[in-house]
């Protein structure tokens, strides 16, 4: 009787997962969301998406080529960054700003740290945070969705000349028989005018000409696909949503006239997109099982705090970036107990070892088959 | 003057501009570098002011190097530097009040600029006046170049102008972040990245 044991470095059990495969499926699951975004805003959204993603890919290619960054363009991670970035900026975001933002996202958010697997912050959010600080007006100018003629005509701000101020969209909206208010996001309307949009409209994104992103329900469905295929840790979005919902409910119960209802908070802005696609970035989220709950809880709490108590209408981006920064600390405090280890007590002076060898330390008995050892050079076994 | 002396003096002069550039190589004097480089004019005047103080105080420190007791040398340097900073302070106030307000406390803070104190301690205290003035002039110009390269980028992107002259017309979209403190860090980081990349390329080329 004989057996063979192969000695090689981890991982020993193959699940058939690879970075490339996971990232490819994230892109697949993002496609319906992107299609919905194009359906809402027409060719402007399509152009913005193509330009930003292309910039991200070219930047990635450049830094991989020059040897400053690990990874490869074929692993789809830059595609995800580009698509998420395009989904998180307004559809009429000037294309030249999209190029700047896409470049910053990959160069500053990823290449500088050494490429895929080394970045501290979510690259898409680094790009968006830069755009928020550099172009505060452009990134806050949304336009109404489902405008007539959106598939034949660009939003005027999209085609601004490079380095120039994008033209005002208010005039253009007036031509479409819409008031200037139509360009405000539901969160902005709540923050500055006290109008709370209906939660059902927000869930589907289909209620009239609202200036919102793709439907949160669609995003949840796409996220559920990823979670069911185990390409995403479902606990992170669960923690974000439950924590944001809990904090919002407590505040709503405390003062219903001042704070919006929790459903509005959950389905407005980029909370769903952030919770499902950005907070779950495998590189920048914790791996420990208690850690993911702390991490998600922190994001939900900070989002609600920033939205309700700061000058900004939306807080998901800063909440996630903040939690990314806190990630190593979260992992440190949430280390799981090592299997078989007992809580260590202070060493006692009188501690003594048993003279008898405990039965569990006997590793071999006479009838055990001793396997033949084969040292492999880390190549998969040839069958 | 023989050619050997000329060559040595040239080396002393170039040291601050290139090999030991205070901003890009030694990364000294970061406080004014990040704070006043919002526009090219501010950067240039800050550089000129610092260079003036640097050259004059190095000359004086060098002249007094044999009579300065070792125990109180730092205090002596500070008094010398502070004297010239006061001169510069009043001069800038007289020339342009707007510039004086834009530079703010950073003119007075030249006193504690580590480039100047470092030069006084490391070079002027050990070398004759002419040599140390040449070295100080190189350092001052190197510092001015460093400030200018930050100031030019930040002014072009942050305001669309260069030395106050509009480059892109009235429709320019300013990059707000460039005139904010993070912009200073971004631009400085990018320059440092560029120089270290260049240095590494030269190293690789030499080894091949």
Residues A139 and A88: beta-carbon distance below 8 Å = no
Q: How many residues does chain A have?
A: 383
Return d(Cα A171, Cα A178) in angstroms, integer.
10
- How many A-B residue pairs are in contact by the CB < 8 A criterion? 32
Share of chain B above pLDDT 90, in %: 45
Q: Which of A317, A139, A103, A321 is nearest to B176 (CA)?
A: A139
Return d(Cα A133, Cα A97) in angstroms, integer.
12
pLDDT score recorded for residue A351: 47
Q: Does A67 touch chain B (CB under 8 A)?
A: no
CB–CB contact B173 A138 (8 Å):
yes
Residues A278 and A121: beta-carbon distance below 8 Å = no
- Containing domain of residue B151, as a range? 3-166+174-207
Count: domains in chain B: 1
Q: Which residues pair with A373 in a beta bridge?
A: A5
ipTM of the complex: 0.84
Q: Does B172 touch chain A (CB under 8 A)?
A: yes
Q: Which residue has the tokens 């253009």?
A: A172
Averaged pLDDT, A284-310: 93
Q: Which of A198, A300, A222 is nearest to A37 (CA)?
A: A222
pLDDT score recorded for residue A361: 47
Q: Which residues pair with A5 in a beta bridge?
A: A373
Averaged pLDDT, A247-254: 94
Q: Which residue has the tokens 């105080």?
A: B57
Which of these ranges, A11-15, A17-21, A107-111, B133-137, has the smallest mean pLDDT? A11-15
Return d(Cα A149, Cα A126) in angstroms, integer.
33
Which of these ranges, A55-64, A199-208, A213-222, A300-309, has the smallest mean pLDDT? A199-208
Residues from chain A that touch B173, judged by Cβ atoms under 8 A, are 94, 97, 135, 138, 160, 163-166
User: Which has the higher per-residue pLDDT, B76 or A343?
Assistant: B76
For B115-141, the pLDDT digits (tens) are 899 889 888 988 999 999 999 999 999
A285 in helix, strand or coil? coil
pTM for the model stands at 0.83
What residues does each domain of chain A span?
18-182, 184-337
Sort residue A103 into left (φ over 0), alpha (ψ -120 to 50) or beta.
Answer: alpha
For residue A161, the distance in angstroms to the closest alpha carbon of chain B comes to 9
Position A353 pLDDT exceeds 60: no
Q: Does A130 touch chain B (CB under 8 A)?
A: yes
Query: Going by C-beta distance under 8 Å and a sequence separation of 6 or more, which residues neighbour residue B97?
Result: none
pLDDT score recorded for residue B10: 87
Of B171, B176, B178, the CB nearest to A164: B171
Instruction: Count other C-beta atoms under 10 Å from residue A112's C-beta.
Output: 18
Residues from chain A that touch B176, judged by Cβ atoms under 8 A, are 133-136
Using alpha carbons only, what angle is made at residue B41 by residues B40 and B42, rounded to the nearest 5 degrees? 90
Residues A105 and A127: beta-carbon distance below 8 Å = yes
Q: Which of A325, A294, A318 is nearest to A304 (CA)?
A: A318
Position B146 pLDDT exceeds 70: yes
Averaged pLDDT, B81-100: 93
Q: Which of B111, B104, B103 is nearest to B86 (CA)?
A: B111
Tokens of A332: 């440190």
Tokens of B162: 């260069």
Interface test with B, best of A104, A109, A133, A157 (most B CBs within 10 A): A133
pLDDT score recorded for residue A129: 93
Tokens of B130: 């002419």
Instruction: Count other C-beta atoms under 10 Å from residue A364's C-beta.
Output: 7
Sign of CA dihedral A138, A140, A145, A147: negative
Burial of residue B208, with CB atoms counted within 10 A of its CB: 0-12 exposed, 13-18 middle, 19 or more buried = exposed
In three-state form (DSSP H/G/I as H, E/B as E, the rest C), the secondary structure along chain B is CCHHHHHHHHHHHHHHHHHCCCCCCCCCCHHHHHHCCCCHHHHHHHHHHHHHHHHHHHHHHHHCCCCCCHHHHHHHHHHHHHHHHHHHHHHHHHHCHHHHHHHHHHCHHHHHCHHHHHHHHHHHCCCCHHHHHHHHHHHHHHHHHHHHHHHHHHHHHHHCEECCEECCCCCECCCHHHHCHHHHHHHHHHHHHHHHHHHHHHHHHHHC
Q: Does A135 touch chain B (CB under 8 A)?
A: yes
pLDDT score recorded for residue A11: 63
Residues B59 and B163: beta-carbon distance below 8 Å = no
Q: Does B128 touch chain A (CB under 8 A)?
A: no
Return d(Cα A131, Cα B165) in angstroms, integer.
26
For B179-196, the pLDDT digits (tens) are 899 999 999 999 998 888
């Amino acid at each position: 009787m004989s057996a063979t044991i192969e000695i090689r470095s981890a991982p020993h059990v193959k699940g058939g997962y690879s970075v490339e495969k996971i990232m490819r499926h994230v892109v697949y699951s993002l496609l319906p969301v992107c299609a919905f975004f194009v359906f809402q805003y027409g060719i402007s959204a399509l152009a913005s998406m193509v330009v930003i993603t292309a910039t991200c890919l070219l930047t990635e290619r450049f830094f991989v080529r020059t040897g400053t960054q690990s990874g490869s363009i074929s692993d789809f991670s830059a595609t995800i960054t580009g698509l998420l970035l395009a989904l998180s900026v307004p559809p009429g975001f000037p294309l030249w700003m999209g190029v700047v933002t896409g470049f910053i996202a990959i160069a500053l958010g990823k290449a500088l740290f050494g490429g895929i697997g080394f970045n501290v912050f979510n690259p898409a959010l680094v790009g968006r945070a830069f755009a928020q600080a550099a172009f505060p007006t452009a990134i806050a100018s949304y336009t109404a969705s489902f405008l007539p003629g959106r598939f034949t005509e660009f939003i005027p701000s999209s085609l601004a000349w490079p380095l120039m101020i994008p033209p005002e969209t208010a005039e253009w909206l007036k031509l479409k028989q819409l008031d200037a208010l139509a360009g405000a996001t539901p969160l902005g309307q709540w923050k500055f005018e006290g109008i709370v949009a209906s939660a059902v409209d927000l869930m589907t994104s289909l209620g009239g000409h609202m200036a919102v992103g793709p439907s949160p329900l669609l995003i949840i469905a796409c996220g559920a696909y990823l979670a069911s295929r185990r390409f995403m840790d479902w606990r992170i979005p669960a923690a974000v949503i439950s924590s944001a919902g809990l904090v919002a409910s407590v505040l709503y119960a405390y003062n219903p006239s001042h704070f919006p209802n929790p459903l509005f908070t959950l389905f407005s802005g980029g909370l769903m997109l952030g919770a499902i696609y950005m907070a779950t970035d495998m590189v920048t989220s914790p791996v420990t099982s208690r850690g993911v709950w702390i991490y998600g809880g922190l994001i939900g709490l900070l989002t609600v705090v920033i939205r309700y108590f700061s000058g900004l209408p939306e807080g998901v981006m800063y909440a996630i970036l903040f939690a990314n920064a806190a990630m190593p600390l979260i992992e440190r405090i949430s280390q799981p107990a090592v299997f078989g280890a007992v809580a260590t007590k202070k060493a006692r002076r009188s501690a003594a070892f048993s003279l008898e060898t405990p039965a569990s330390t006997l590793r071999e008995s006479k009838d055990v088959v001793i396997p033949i050892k084969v040292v492999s050079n880390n190549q998969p076994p040839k069958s | 003057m023989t050619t050997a002396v000329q060559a040595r003096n040239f080396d002393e002069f170039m040291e601050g501009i290139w090999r030991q550039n205070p901003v890009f190589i030694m990364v000294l004097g970061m406080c004014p570098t990040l704070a006043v480089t919002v526009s090219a004019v501010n950067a240039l005047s800050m550089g000129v002011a610092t260079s003036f103080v640097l050259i004059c105080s190095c000359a004086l420190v060098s002249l007094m190097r044999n009579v300065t007791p070792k125990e109180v040398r730092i205090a002596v340097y500070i008094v010398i530097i502070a004297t010239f900073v006061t001169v510069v302070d009043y001069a800038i106030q007289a020339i342009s009040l707007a510039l004086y307000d834009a530079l703010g406390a950073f003119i007075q803070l030249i006193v504690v600029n580590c480039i100047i104190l470092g030069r006084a301690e490391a070079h002027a205290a050990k070398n004759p006046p002419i040599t140390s003035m040449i070295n100080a002039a190189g350092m001052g110009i190197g510092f001015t170049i460093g400030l200018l390269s930050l100031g030019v980028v930040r002014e072009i992107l942050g305001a669309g102008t260069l030395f106050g002259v509009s480059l892109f017309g009235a429709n320019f979209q300013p990059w707000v972040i460039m005139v904010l403190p993070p912009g200073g860090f971004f631009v400085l980081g990018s320059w440092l990245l560029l120089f270290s990349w260049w240095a590494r390329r030269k190293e690789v080329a030499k080894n091949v």
